[in-house]
Amino acid sequence: MIISRGPRLIARALSGFLLAATLTGCAVQGGQLEATPFTEVRPFDEDVLLTVENNDFRDATIYVFWSGVKRRVGRVTGKTKKTFRMEWLSEEAQFGADFLGRGGFRTETIPVVPGDHLNLLIPIG
């Protein structure tokens, strides 16, 4: 007895390909990201910008504490300035830096609203 699964497998593969092509077409339309069941679209005005000016010679890894939960923002090389985009998660935040080698600091808690552009100045240590 021979069981042929060829046409059924081809139909499944073709339907899977069409589903993937349809989802891709829905996700990107006119160069802009559209909502699909698999993506979360947030407007950029809900993000928070953080510009870090590192006047120290040491590289610094920057962290944000949203309601006490620590998240890495990124690294800023010594004597440079860099801007980061972060998702807004809470009405209050603290910022911290760990320096390459040793040392670091943590700021006081500040109020943050969606769309803020914050500046963090790291003095020469």
| pLDDT (0 to 100) of residue 92 | 97
Q: Are residues 35 and 57 in the same domain?
A: no
pLDDT tens-place string over residues 27-78: 444 444 455 566 566 666 789 999 999 999 999 999 999 999 999 999 999 9
Counted domains in the chain: 2
Quote the pTM value: 0.66
**C-alpha distances out from residue 92 to 1, 39, 64, 112, 113, Å:** 70, 27, 10, 5, 8
Q: Are residues 53 and 30 in the same domain?
A: no
The phi-psi region of residue 18 (left if phi > 0; otherwise alpha if psi is between -120 and 50; otherwise beta) is: alpha
Q: Are residues 69 and 92 in the same domain?
A: yes
Structural domain range at position 67 = 44-122
Find the CATH number of the domain harbouring 75: 2.60.40.2890
SS3 65: strand
**The pLDDT of residue 9 is above 90:** no
Q: Choose between 109 and 37: higher pLDDT.
A: 109
